[in-house]
A and B are shown apart, each in its own frame.
Chain A
Amino acid sequence: MQIELTEDQLDTLIDDVQREYGYDFGDYARASLHRRIARLMTVDRFVSFAELRYRINSDKDYLSRLIDMVSVNVTEMFRDPSFYAALRTQIFPVLATYPLIRIWHAGCASGEEVYSMAILLKESKLLDKSIIYATDINPTALSVARAGIYPLAQMQKYSENYVAAGGAEDFSRYYTAQYDMVKMDTALTKRIVYATHNLATDSSFNEFQLIICRNVLIYFNQTLQDRVFHLFDDSLEGLGFIGLGSKESIRFSTVAASYQQVAGKDKIWRKGKK
């Protein structure tokens, strides 16, 4: 059973974290944020809200635990295989015409989808002229991404996803297994740059031809979503692409008019000429 967390208490917590640590969760989607904090209280066995509040305010190290819980890190390789198939067949031929391909993977969590992208690029012979900037709010998740070490038990599913996305190789060539873990091939990582970046507060840092941000915006309210779309718009070249999660859309954003959905039901939009 969960301890009841009131809306006022949640507001108090958001204020504390903003004031003490500079992380702003005020425009996160309320329903999900409420669930995450309530779950934190259950899992870490806080008997009251006051106890949680005291811990957060007095223990700097506990903040990373909070961020880990609030930033949902559920992900998989080649999640929604048709999205990756569309990238390969429809987007890569356009990107191939550029001398240097710059990709921003925003909110990459533990990196599974970044490796998926690197594998696709490699198979299309584009990896060597690409740079993938992979960012996330959560340093713990980023260190997992950087290490490229994942549970062997997941590989069966990832391999199926890979095949469904049009992968023609033997998926196991991309990792080496040891005991119950695998390490991703380091040839995939040489074009990936990892960095922390907070979509709620940080600004644009480069211009890209492709921005991937999947299942991150669902955790934001419309105000913050719109901020992020403006950030992406500022960071995207004319005729560049934005790829979102399967239930996300640019349509509520005030930049929507400059974008056209590429094709089918996969969530890829192309920007007009600047």
Chain B
Amino acid sequence: MAQGQEIEAPSKVILIGGSAGSLSVLLVVLPLLSERINAAVVLVMHRHTRSEDLLEALLASRASLPVRDIEDKDQPQRGIIYTAPADYHLLFEPDGSFALDSSEKVNYSRPSIDVTFESAARVFGTRAIGVLLSGANADGAEGLYEIEQHGGITIVQHPETAEVDYMPRSALQLFSPSYIARPGEIAPLLVRLASDISAARD
């Protein structure tokens, strides 16, 4: 369905979800993600509607990869960090393109991490890597489990390192993820899992 431009589909799609206390983790992780990763990175953060531009500007100032807003039906591209817009759920169409949806909140949240993770699990299967960070809400736990069940890789921030451990603990109560990682370990792990050369080892 994607028309026109030729784009290289990333081999992996990294989905990072977080709420309260996750921004400081992102500021550790994002600077370490480089061109080496053959993946698109998608951030789903609980946020206030009006703070949109500020968050993007902050992330862009720290990340080494370009940070981009999502527009409806964009195709995720390799080496780009995308942020889910405030006040929309973020889904994926069967061809992998982004689709937005402003229907009712899920887990008191829009965007809801569960909604994006579940959609990514269905569309990307084993190509999905889900990461769940600090947060004061159970959103994301079920979705991460869906990624696991569809053969994707799952990473939960170590609860002892989380400013608010409710979100990671909710995931750990539900299932055993592929990895439990401290903030400093997350980026090297993602690079290892998603780079062209070494991915095959896992």
* A binding-site residues for B, Cβ under 8 Å: 29-32, 35-36, 39, 72, 74, 215, 217-219, 221-223, 225, 246-249, 252
Q: Which 6 A-B pairs have the closest CB atoms?
A: A31-B91, A32-B101, A72-B103, A218-B100, A218-B72, A29-B99
Question: Are B102 and A252 within 8 A (Cβ)?
Answer: no
A25 to B85: give the CA distance in the assembly, Å.
26
Interface size (B, Cβ < 8 Å)? 25
Best-buried of B3, B72, B93 by chain A (most CB within 10 Å): B72
For the complex, give the distance between the alpha carbons of A29 and B100 in Å: 9
Q: Which of B73, B92, B115, B119 contacts A225 (CB 8 A)?
A: B73
Question: Contacts of B103 on A, CB cut-off 8 Å?
Answer: 32, 35-36, 39, 72, 74
Chain A residues with CB below 8 A from B92, complex form = 31
* Interface membership of chain B positions 56-89, coded 1 if the CB is closer than 8 angstroms to chain A and 0 otherwise: 0000000000000111110000000000010011
Residues of A within 8 A of B115 (CB): 35
B94 in the interface (beta carbon within 8 A): yes
CA A225 to CA B93, docked complex, whole Å: 14
Determine if A247 and B93 form an interchain contact, defined as CB atoms under 8 angstroms apart. no
List of B residues within 8 angstroms of A35 by Cβ: 89, 91, 101, 103, 115, 119
A69, closest chain B residue (CB)? B103
Instruction: Report 26 cross-chain contacts, Cβ distance below 8 Å, ordered by A residue.
Output: A29-B93, A30-B93, A31-B92, A31-B99, A31-B119, A32-B91, A32-B99, A32-B103, A35-B101, A35-B115, A72-B101, A72-B103, A74-B103, A218-B88, A218-B99, A218-B100, A218-B101, A218-B102, A222-B2, A222-B3, A222-B73, A247-B69, A247-B71, A247-B88, A247-B100, A248-B71
Complex alpha-carbon distance, A223 and B3, angstroms: 10
A72-B102, A218-B101, A252-B3 are contacts. A247–B119 as well, Cβ < 8 Å?
A: no
Smallest distance from the beta carbon of B130 to chain A beta carbons, Å?
A: 17
Q: Is A221 a contact partner of B93 (Cβ separation < 8 A)?
A: yes
